[in-house]
Chains A and B, each alone.
Chain A
Amino acid sequence: MKRFLGFVVKEFYHIFRDYRTLLILFGIPAIQLLLFGYVITSEIRDARIAIFDQSKDEGTRKISEKVLSSGYFILDKNLSSTKEIEQVFRQGNVKLVLIFGPDFSKNLNKTGNAKVQIIGDASDPNTANILVNYIQGILSNYLFSLNAEKIPMQIVPEVRMMYNSEMKGVFMFVPGLMAMLLMLISALMTSLSITREKELGTMELLLVSPLKPVQIIIGKVFPYVFLAFLDACIIIILGNTVFGVPVVGSVALLLFESLLFICMALSLGILISTITSSQQIAMMLSLVALMLPTILLSGFIFPVENMPVVLQWFCHIMPPKYYITIIKSIMLQGNGFSYIAFETGILAGFTMLFIFLSVKKFKVRLG
């Protein structure tokens, strides 16, 4: 035990004497969280649009007013011919063009049928889709207000978005980011710290010492469990104070699950370091082989349900996916342990598998 503690003390010296390690440990999580929180957002405000109004009557003016006062749109230009439509899109400022056909109000009143065209810039399909939906909403609202006196029958859906009533993107990103950052820090830092010993030749002396492989591995990892856990706390606190992401469920449970995930990522880092001999390869493996799947296949950004079936299989073997499910469940829905027991079990299983493989693969000799 004394040997082990001596080893851990040495690891802490390494970490605290290398400012780059510290920067990665504590700088990156904070910066990433703020960046993701502020930059990536699925809400669109102040999109620039152009209006080509061929009627210029009471109806079109009212609709235009409603559109522009909604807060989602800013009028970039009033167009006077169809030729200009393509031109404004090409200039690139305008995301959407709203076109009213001739004699809009007259047609609407006489035939009950008026023509409106919405042209979106689908080079960014998500944005175009959202903007078109906004306009459609405003149009049907207007129509509804016209018909209010005439038709007594109406269906008014009352929509309530559970767990994230304001549909804030951050609620989605904070859990994903936690998974990503904990994975990065845990797997990358441990795999680096072990391969560094191999590169410097100090592993040669550690091997010759009476330390057991398990002691070396756990000793290497132990400080990072502690530091990554600190990171998890920082992310939760920042998410809560800066972006208002709530922790509805039990904080203790959340921390416990995070600890489990950290252990999983650390054991994966160890596994990487036992099969690589240089820091560079370890870094490549941790970054490319872990980061991309964590971002793409964990449901962090892209919903798993929409992926091709083959990719969905891959998603199921991505540990971060389960962690994200778990923390969303705790933070946003406030669920207790019984709801996430399955996911917890899977994470624990992964951890055990990786540790088992690492200890098996750990070479008690060189080469």
Chain B
Amino acid sequence: MSAIQVTHLTKQFATVKALDDISFSVGHGELFGFIGPDGAGKTTLFRILTTLLLPDEGKASVNGLDVVKDYRKIRQDIGYMPGKFSLYTDLSVEENLKFYATVFGTTIAENFDLIKDIYVQIEPFRKRKAGQLSGGMKQKLALSCALIHKPSVLILDEPTTGVDAVSRLEFWEMLKRLKDSGITIVVATPYMDEASLCDRVALIQNGKIMTISTPSEVIKTYPYVLYSVKSDDIYSLLRDLRQFPQVHSVFAFGQSAHVSFKEEHAAEDVLHKYLQEKGHSDVKIGPTQATIEDCFMELMNTKW
């Protein structure tokens, strides 16, 4: 039995189809990521899984419990961290944690070993109001609160949005540790680079799942040879690359451009020459490994 089983799930809001015939399953103890831009339908999906919304069509179950019928039981089993910071800003760190512990009929002491790693980092600020914490601290507190009742499934909606790079990394390390302790984790993120940290990912766009696989499998399916191109002026570089006849796709990737060609091996030299003619200096072209982001862009272009 899977921890989460979803079949043909559909949810419509007025004119927007937030979820369009989605099916997937998440195994016990898996760290499963939903990767997709804002508005892809991640939050809607999570709200259905947490029994906060009713699906229009299709079925969803958590630990074998139906999200519509058995919503009371599910609520005991899951830990949920909404996308928006949803703790009481006028309560202190300690008070928030204590409140959620009491509400779930437990105490901080009882499950302290589970949140210990996370909580020690915010403990120095335990008397501080939650509203005055930094973004990273807030997320750690929210995670602690979601974990305090020892849920078997943890559902995290964009937990790292608005958090600095170092805190993001720390956060993912915590998730790994939680996964190792046997908790099933479903996490949504708009950051493609976080995808490789999941066991499996689902790329989601416009309410549809484009692909579900392990991050390395997703990358393997990338059909083109990818080149990273650099020059002194990224903006005109992108423009000029798009005009190059053999080019299939061009995307900005940090300070370089990721380029794929229609034919298997387009000559690097030809492109090099072309760019120099266009007045670019410092041109560097080299093959590169496709990332989840490249795959996402490719899928978006071809399928949807």
Contacts and interface: CB of A to CB of B under 8 A. Distances in A.
B34 interface: no
A24 interface: no
Where chain A touches its partner, the secondary structure class is helix
Contact of B103 (A18, A209, A367): A209
B103 A7 contact: yes
Given A201-B85, A210-B105, A365-B52, A6 B78 contact: no
Interface stretch (B90-98, B159-167, B203-211): B90-98
B99 A6 contact: yes
Interface stretch (A9-17, A87-95, A180-188, A353-361): A9-17
B288 to A, nearest CB: 41
A46 B285 CA distance: 98
Contact of B105 (A3, A9, A18, A367): A3
Interface in A1-44: 2-3, 5-7, 9-10, 13-14, 17-18
A208 B82 CA distance: 10
B103 A210 contact: yes
B84 interface: yes
Given A14-B90, A365-B54, A210 B75 contact: yes
A54 to B, nearest CB: 74
Contacts of B78: 208
B48 to A, nearest CB: 10
Interface in B57-101: 71-72, 75-76, 78, 80, 82, 84-91, 95, 98-100
A204 interface: yes
B102 interface: yes
B28 interface: no
B184 interface: no
A192 B99 CA distance: 21
B75 A10 contact: no
Nearest to A219: B103
B86 A202 contact: yes
Contacts of B51: 208, 365
B95 to A, nearest CB: 7
Contacts of A289: none
A262 B78 CA distance: 37
Given A6-B98, A10-B99, A366-B47, A210 B104 contact: yes
Interface in A197-217: 200-202, 204-211
Nearest to A365: B52
B100 A209 contact: yes
B44 to A, nearest CB: 10
B52 A208 contact: yes
Contacts of A209: 75, 100, 103-104
Interface residues of B, number: 30
B189 interface: no
A200 B54 CA distance: 22
Contacts of A201: 82, 84-86
A9 B72 CA distance: 24
Contacts of B103: 3, 6-7, 206, 209-211
B53 interface: yes
Contact of A205 (B80, B89, B98): B80
A207 B52 contact: yes
Given A17-B90, A210-B76, A204 B99 contact: no
A118 interface: no
Contacts of B71: 364-365
Given A13-B95, A364-B71, A205 B53 contact: no
B91 A13 contact: yes
Contacts of A18: 90
B144 interface: no
Contacts of A207: 52, 75
Contacts of B231: none
Interface string A40-52: 0000000000000
A17 B103 CA distance: 21
B86 A3 contact: no
A202 B95 contact: no
A211 to B, nearest CB: 6
A193 B61 CA distance: 33
Contacts of B89: 200
A294 to B, nearest CB: 30
A364 B72 CA distance: 10
Nearest to A203: B86
Contacts of A202: 86-88
18 contacts: A5-B102, A7-B102, A10-B88, A10-B91, A10-B99, A13-B95, A200-B86, A200-B88, A204-B52, A204-B82, A204-B86, A205-B82, A205-B87, A206-B103, A208-B78, A210-B75, A364-B71, A365-B54
Query: 8 smallest A-B Cβ distances: which pairs?
Result: A6-B102, A201-B86, A366-B52, A201-B84, A209-B103, A208-B80, A17-B90, A10-B99
